[in-house]
Structure 1
């Protein structure tokens, strides 16, 4: 049949309104406010870093895992410490009898940290250390472990997640006052800036706010309020804006609301540049928002655990499209139990698939220009800025926390979200819709917690039998004295105590004695 000609057909003009233009659309990557990414070429030259957690029950097991997988494309490791370590208990404390955790690393002393990183090249691996109460001894143990490897401190890279304000907002814990936490913050910052220049001193977390089921704008607003508080306190302590801005990074959760999460990261870069601008930095790099993301724990339901693979992949894609610099993807077992190595390998391979098979790294900000994305970016940025102004009008985040404002806002949004889930207005597959009548079980590794605790106690006994008691006593006394006066650098003195084999609990107790006096003398 001969082809028909369609030249005579006339198309009617569209009645649609002209597409809305957004003020931010002309912003590019690599130039403040960095809407499309903090580097001009983003992933084209270098994809995001793959981070993986060491969450085994002992330092030895964590070390074995890493050494079994030396070619895993990993350049970043996050250490997950168990509850006992986070609460500054040594394993031989009677209160912990039969309570040693079955997952996450147990650290009692510098010997455990040395074992964790035995034959791990600390000058080639970026390490993330997360803690509040135990941050000083844990960071000191890491520094001494590097010294034992003869790795120069200026070659160490990594990040610290020390965020007391996060706990005050979400977890309702108040172990260290906000003002006292700033003393610890500035001491760590000064030490690492002088001796560990490659170390990004602090990661400020918004992760736990999304874990509490809040909104993207609340996550951004209150996280940046913390960042603003850190900057102001640092400047008061004599640290200039370019120095402090270059050492801060931010930690975000990435959930299943795909386009919102992409827009959130784009909006975040604009907002942070706007915040930093008011301090008149001289270095353009100070405007850059350094970002680490983790797929959301709260979206990983215990029901049908194999669905987590799909959920985690979708969330990881959002982080990549949004322009994260590093990413941790949850394991298959994140909300269930402790699995074998294959679960950790799967999380790493998920990111390798995205980096090397999808070709999404071959363009900068792939969703730029999409009306949906640009509209969400503008809306999230505007709502977050309004919340930031509310906090600022109250006198800053510490004052807002005292008035209960952040907690109230988080609880309001969390309640609305949970109500939608209960009423099935927000669908969660296998939770409130399409439930399986019978689920396949996971193959879970069994951990002998009694054996773990016994091993830790034996190591502590050996440590105490072979150290110099007088040196330990003096170094702990110096720590208490410094904590009381508030004049000397606490991390420097903690490192000295760690070199003398003081334990986690001993160091923490010495600091606590001094902190109590410091709180009283400064009326905190």
Structure 2
């Protein structure tokens, strides 16, 4: 029997509230507008993650142990730019970037250090990686095998969303078609070998960070999702199996009610999209999502104001029904977050979860005339935009034609113009400013990390079986010219200490680079 939950005044809180008006939509039931689970957070809070990764694997490992000790429920890994675009730390293109915006991962040796003392079977891990996502997933699987883990129990998420890289972010390597092939290879491989792994996190977050508005974030993200569904179907995969392992990644900005409505509309729209493409299993129709608070909303001016912004955004995510959440540090407009900022960000989630009452009932803003109207309006506008993209041939065609990029750029320009004209107030930036500000402590990464990583690579290449490495890389190149699934050979490659850069370069020679 369910536990009774009461307010501080002793008022019993019902699991779900409905208005006197007709309310046919229920949580846990198609189209899932009110949530993907019938009881949502009454049974279990969202997963509290903190996105972290910097410097070397060893240094990031220390931060992970710190965060786990502070109550983080799952890890979320940030990778540096060379890792994201397929260069080893000693490559000329990596100079000045090693370990700067995330952790440097060159080989299985680094992965072993990154998760030292952490049992992969007992945690969930989210990895924000796209073009080289197949390599990082292979490294994670190889490490899990070395730990003796049951791969059927390994759970987590890999972002693996290359379409938004072409549209909004830029860390792509290969042309769209081979990139989509890698994604569907991951879908197919994981459905058999790592069935609890979320094989893609279709990201609206970076689309929003690039300057889109809430409607565009929703429309472009779901359009990308449709493209992945169709690519998997074309490969012969069963939508009732692979669609269960798709997840989404959304942004939470400052307009509390619009953001809640956006999340509610997203669930409703995705349920219909999957149904129209043949999904009959309710779990294949559910839109499950991770949220990160809006990095682009944070200000370098009066940075402690960002704590309030992150709190509002976190409320939007949780009242909107997110499955997991990362809260940004207040100092991230200045540097990577300090330990203090990361702790305050985590405490923000914990206070909302355990003290605010938000988790006590399902869809707490459902039935509000305002929120219901906003949900319907956002869904209608996003649907119109998706229809326009469909008429262009789908998300890939719309990106290749520059439509998505142009729409985002126009939105970003309008937003900046509104700030400069004082039509939109940003506290501490264009109103309520202060003359003198004390610069807070910032977190800096030393450039000597590249030298240390380069020395590790020299030692690794000296002691591994280089003849075996070359045979494996040649086999990878050959398989890349076929329709064979590449994940098994990539797992073999990383197990034999082929480096990330060597694997990426092998495929560069076969497929070329997208410019």
Structure 2 equivalent of residue 476 of structure 1: 473
> Is 1:380–2:378 an aligned residue pair?
yes
Deviations 1:152-201 (A, max 9, x none): 21121111111221122224676322221221011111111111011011
After TM superposition, the structure 1 = structure 2 runs for residues 163-242 of structure 1, keeping only pairs within 5 Å, are 163-171=161-169, 175-242=173-240
Where structure 2 has 5 or more consecutive residues not aligned to the other structure, the ranges are: 1-18
Q: Is the 8 A contact 1:47 1:355 kept in 2?
A: yes
Which entry has the higher C-alpha Rg, 1 or 2?
1
Structure 1 equivalent of residue 457 of structure 2: 460
> Is 1:498–2:494 an aligned residue pair?
yes
In 2, Cα distance between equivalents of 1:186 and 1:237: 7
Q: Is the 8 A contact 2:175 2:511 kept in 1?
A: no
SS in 2 for 1:312: helix
In 1, Cα distance between equivalents of 2:355 and 2:488: 46
In 1, Cα distance between equivalents of 2:461 and 2:508: 21
- What's the offset of the Cα at 1:90? 1.3
Deviates more, 1:507-516 or 1:235-244: 507-516
Structure 2 equivalent of residue 11 of structure 1: none
Deviations 1:44-71 (A, max 9, x none): 1111110112222111011112224543
- What's the offset of the Cα at 1:440? 2.3
> Is 1:43–2:41 an aligned residue pair?
yes
Deviations 1:111-135 (A, max 9, x none): 0011000111111111112223322
- What's the offset of the Cα at 1:339? 4.4
Identify which of 415, 420, 423 aligns with 1:425: 423
- What's the offset of the Cα at 1:411? 2.1
SS in 1 for 2:247: strand
Q: Is the 8 A contact 1:29 1:37 kept in 2?
A: yes
In 2, Cα distance between equivalents of 1:35 and 1:99: 42
SS in 2 for 1:186: helix
SS in 2 for 1:50: strand
In 1, Cα distance between equivalents of 2:353 and 2:370: 25
SS in 2 for 1:123: helix
> Is 1:330–2:328 an aligned residue pair?
yes
Deviates more, 1:128-137 or 1:203-212: 128-137
Normalised by the length of structure 2, the TM-score is 0.93
- What's the offset of the Cα at 1:289? 0.7
> Is 1:80–2:72 an aligned residue pair?
no
Q: Is the 8 A contact 1:22 1:374 kept in 2?
A: no
State the superposition RMSD in angstroms: 2.0
SS in 1 for 2:88: coil
After TM superposition, the structure 1 = structure 2 runs for residues 29-428 of structure 1, keeping only pairs within 5 Å, are 29-171=27-169, 175-428=173-426
Equivalent residue pairs, number: 497
In 2, Cα distance between equivalents of 1:492 and 1:424: 56
Structure 2 equivalent of residue 440 of structure 1: 438
SS in 2 for 1:266: helix
Deviations 1:59-101 (A, max 9, x none): 1011112224543332321111111211212122244445434
Q: Is the 8 A contact 2:127 2:158 kept in 1?
A: yes
Where structure 1 has 5 or more consecutive residues not aligned to the other structure, the ranges are: 1-19
In 1, Cα distance between equivalents of 2:360 and 2:455: 53
- What's the offset of the Cα at 1:359? 1.5
In 2, Cα distance between equivalents of 1:42 and 1:70: 24
Q: Is the 8 A contact 2:169 2:210 kept in 1?
A: no
- What's the offset of the Cα at 1:495? 0.8
- What's the offset of the Cα at 1:392? 1.4
Structure 2 equivalent of residue 16 of structure 1: none
- What's the offset of the Cα at 1:244? 2.1
- What's the offset of the Cα at 1:323? 0.6
Change (3 A) 1:402 1:454: closer
- What's the offset of the Cα at 1:333? 2.2
Change (3 A) 1:173 1:457: closer
Normalised by the length of structure 1, the TM-score is 0.91
In 2, Cα distance between equivalents of 1:33 and 1:76: 28
Deviations 1:192-226 (A, max 9, x none): 11110110111100111211222211111111111
SS in 1 for 2:347: helix
In 2, Cα distance between equivalents of 1:314 and 1:45: 23
In 2, Cα distance between equivalents of 1:202 and 1:90: 24
- What's the offset of the Cα at 1:470? 1.1
Q: Is the 8 A contact 1:482 1:514 kept in 2?
A: no
